[in-house]
Amino acid sequence: MPVPADLVFAAANAETLREIGSWDGFRPATFAASDFPVDVVRFERSSSPPVVVSRARRADTLKALPVGLRDRALAAFARFEGPSRFLALPAGRRLDLSRAPIVMGVVNVTPDSFSDAGLYLDPRRAAARALEMFEGGAAIVDVGGESTRPSSYGDAAPVSAAEEIERVLPVIEAIRRETGRPVSIDTRKEEVARAALGAGADLVNDVSALRHDARMASTLAEAGAALLLMHMKGDDPRTMQADTAYVHPVADIASELAAAATKALDAGVLPDRIAVDPGFGFGKSAEGNLVLLRHVGAFRSLGFPVAVGASRKGFVRRFSGVGEDASSADRLPGSLAAVGAARARGAAIVRVHDVPETVRFLRMHDAIDLDALGRSEEALR
Ligand code: HH2
């Protein structure tokens, strides 16, 4: 069964509604201020225009739709609103997503990553960095041995599977000697994934969403590993920025992620092990990244936990107003704003380089929101 990509977009005001309508060339009827917030349901591969549903009158509006569309809309709302409670990991373990977003810390074991290049090439330093991230509140640490930076940072060097394994394996083994906490391997290569899972990794973060290596899905299914499917335009990080045009800036990406999830399910990966990520910076214009972040909640309509990785990226640097050679510290405020946006839109996972800062930022958000609901500090623990 293909994963449906009928999408729900939330619009808090008329301006956002117009933006959503513009992508399909439809002009929504005029809604009174009191009708907001509204949701827009967009049916994939359908000649029916998107349907605008005032949240206060959802049942009535849906009742007026033809049965087929009504059922599709109801199913899309159920996926959009159904919270992702956990992501299943091998050996009956789980990543708890009930207090989302959880923080995924990034450890780049590479000489050429756009961020932290060369800092953690020594496996002991990389493992120590991972343990420090767990201490700082990371729920999972993502270890990567290949840079997928865009060519604006200078072409990343191609890495063989053997070399990638040589970089990441000692790190995963060293982490495993110290802790059983969840570990992710950031790779597109099946051999690397297999080696990492053998050394105790729990999740494979595939930036090619299963397109790079045809054997990946069955290896994951066999291992019972979790899978993070990330969208990239094209199939080569070195050329992905050459064409950043989309027919629909959100639905094109959602459709490809739905197809990737279908491929994973067909290979035997269980649905509770899959998460999706629109892939900020991977074949997206600077403004396109903003649109994606503004509407990242729509990806929840796919029915899987949504991950957001905007940390320190070029568009964050640019729109937060710091220069091209801005330090990590100078990129942090913009990165935190992106985390705040992801949180507000229901992202389940944020992938970041600055773990303790992000954890404190999220803790403060939780404190404010829980306080608003009149809950005591006890509820925070
Ligand atoms: N971004 C990068 C790498 N892997 N995986 C997911 N799921 N989402 C992302 O946004 C994402 C990712 C790029 O960041 P980084 O790992 O720091 O850089 P590099 O690829 O240069 O090592």
**Ligand 1 within 6 A of CB of 110:** yes
Q: Is 313 one of the annotated active-site residues of the chain? A: yes
Q: What pLDDT was estimated at residue 159?
A: 93
Residue 117 has what pLDDT?
82
Tell me what pLDDT residue 381 has: 44
pLDDT tens digits, residue range 118-170? 888 899 999 999 999 999 999 999 999 999 887 877 777 789 999 999 999 99
Distance from the alpha carbon of residue 35 to the mean position of ligand 1, in angstroms: 40
At 132 the pLDDT is: 98
Supply the pLDDT for residue 120: 84
Rounded to 10 deg, the angle between the 355-372 and 328-344 helix axes is 30
Angle ∠(345,202,316) on CA atoms, nearest 5: 35
Q: Tens digit of pLDDT for each residue in 319-345?
A: 999 999 999 999 999 999 999 999 999
Per-residue pLDDT of 291-322, as tens digits, reads: 999 999 999 999 999 999 999 999 999 999 99
Residue 149 and residue 121: Cα distance in Å, rounded?
Answer: 17
Could you say which DSSP state residue 24 is in? Answer: T
Give yes or no for residue 273 having a pLDDT over 70. yes
Assess whether the C-beta atom of 147 lies below 6 angstroms from ligand 1.
Answer: yes
Ligand 1 centre from 190 Cα, in Å?
Answer: 18
228 pocket-lining for ligand 1 (C-beta < 6 Å): yes
Closest Cα to atom 3 of ligand 1: 148
Query: 167 CB under 6 A from ligand 1?
Result: no
Q: Is the pLDDT of residue 377 over 60?
A: no
Atom of ligand 1 nearest to the CA of 230: 7
Give every CB contact of residue 144 below 8 A, 6+ residues apart in sequence: 106, 107, 108, 109, 110, 113, 168, 185, 186, 187, 205
The answer to whether 233 and 240 have CB atoms below 8 angstroms apart is yes
Task: Give the residue-averaged pLDDT of 278-285.
Answer: 97
**62 alpha carbon to ligand 1 midpoint, in Å?**
40
Residue tagged active-site, from 189, 313, 343, 345: 313
SS3 98: coil
23-27, 113-117, 350-354, range with the lowest pLDDT: 113-117
Q: Provide the mean pLDDT of the chain.
A: 94
Binning pLDDT at 50, 70 and 90, where does residue 380 land?
Answer: very low
Average pLDDT estimate for 54-64: 95
Q: What number is the average pLDDT over the span 167-189?
A: 98
The more confidently predicted of residues 1 and 367 is: 367
Q: Specify whether the CB–CB gap between 137 and 355 falls below 8 A.
A: yes
Q: Exposed, middle or buried, 158 (CB in 10 Å: 0-12/13-18/19+)?
A: exposed
Which of the residue ranges 15-24, 113-122, 158-167, 285-294 would you say has the lowest mean pLDDT?
113-122
Which residues have C-beta within 8 Å of that of residue 180, sequence separation ≥ 6?
Answer: none
The reply to whether ligand 1 has any atom less than 6 angstroms from the CB of 305 is no
| 208 C-beta closer than 6 A to ligand 1 | no
Crossing angle of the two packed helices 216-223 and 190-198, in degrees rounded to 10: 10
Amino acid at 351: R
Percent of the chain at pLDDT > 90 equals: 85
Q: If you measure from the C-alpha of residue 148 to the centroid of ligand 1, how many angstroms do you get, rounded to a whole number?
A: 7
Angstrom distance (rounded) from CA 265 to CA 354: 33
pLDDT of residue 156: 78
Does residue 373 register a pLDDT over 60?
A: no
> Cα separations (Å) of 204 from 43, 184, 228?
30, 6, 6
CA distance 114 to 133: 19
Mutate to test the pocket of ligand 1, among 146, 147, 204, 317 (most ligand atoms within 8 A of CB): 147
Please check whether residue 344 is in contact with residue 366, taking contact to mean a CB–CB distance below 8 angstroms. no
> How much is the pLDDT for 100?
92
Categorize the per-residue pLDDT at 251 as very low, low, confident or very high, splitting at 50, 70 and 90: very high
pLDDT of residue 374: 58
Distance CA 180, CA 5 (A): 35
